[in-house]
Amino acid sequence: MEKISLREIYKIFFIIGAQLIGGGYVILPLLKKYIAEERKWLSEEELIDYFAVSQCIPGIIAGNIAIFSGYKARKGLGALAAITGLITPPFLCILILAHILTNFTNNEIVQEAFWGIRISVIVLIIITVKDMWTKSVNSKFTYTLFSIVLIFLLTMKISPAVIIILSALSALLYSKIKGNKNA
């Protein structure tokens, strides 16, 4: 197979990055089209594997798949080209918007709109939790863990990193205890 140039990788992920609106899952159909079908850098099965693994490791899902795909094409440098390409368009968009917004924050209409958007954000958070719920909280153990964590979060100030580490440890411990009982 002929070597894929880093510029080509950057370019493709730049195009994907510019079209990525509305969160991580949108990247899957884009990658299928640009990388699996048109360029055949990897197969559809590989893409689905990458997607599954991306959800299980730290980092943003879309970013992780980009890193995997770039790595498949050209190892470490390919991964770097892919992730840089992916974040260039949003990076520029954010800078421009942030700059414009700071000049408009005293405008009354803009303030009213952002007052409403604040409520949209709350609604988005609630909908996201609702979508995650059945896959996440579905057993005695997960209900208990959810309730304990929520009580802690609502009553004191704890770093989310501490919550993540403790939850991972308790789940591992629970599986060990349960495993021993069955054996």
Minimum gap (Å) between residue 50 Cβ and another protein: 8
Q: Which of 82, 80, 72 is nearest to 12 (CA)?
A: 82
DSSP state for residue 107 in the 8-state scheme: -
Does the footprint of another protein cover residue 124 (CB under 8 A)? Answer: yes
In the block, residue with structure tokens 């943003």:
60
Does the footprint of another protein cover residue 48 (CB under 8 A)? Answer: no
Does the footprint of another protein cover residue 24 (CB under 8 A)? Answer: yes
Give the Cα separation of 27 and 39 in Å (integer).
16
- When binding is defined by CB under 8 A, the residue of 11, 37, 94, 107 that contacts another protein is 94
Does the footprint of another protein cover residue 43 (CB under 8 A)? Answer: no
# residues near another protein by CB under 8 A: 91
Minimum gap (Å) between residue 66 Cβ and another protein: 9
Question: Helix or strand or coil: residue 5?
Answer: coil
Cβ proximity to another protein, 37 vs 122, nearer residue: 122
User: Which tokens go with 50?
Assistant: 């990458």
Cβ proximity to another protein, 33 vs 97, nearer residue: 97
Does the footprint of another protein cover residue 107 (CB under 8 A)? Answer: no
Does the footprint of another protein cover residue 32 (CB under 8 A)? Answer: no
Minimum gap (Å) between residue 20 Cβ and another protein: 5
In the block, residue with structure tokens 């260039």:
88
Cβ atoms of 28 and 51 closer than 8 Å: yes
Q: Which residues contact 61 (CB under 8 A, 6 or more apart)?
A: 24, 25, 27, 51, 54, 55
Cβ proximity to another protein, 29 vs 163, nearer residue: 163
Does the footprint of another protein cover residue 38 (CB under 8 A)? Answer: no
Does the footprint of another protein cover residue 14 (CB under 8 A)? Answer: no
Give the Cα separation of 35 and 13 in Å (integer).
10
Minimum gap (Å) between residue 32 Cβ and another protein: 17
Q: How far is CA 130 from the centre of its chain?
A: 17
Does the footprint of another protein cover residue 36 (CB under 8 A)? Answer: no
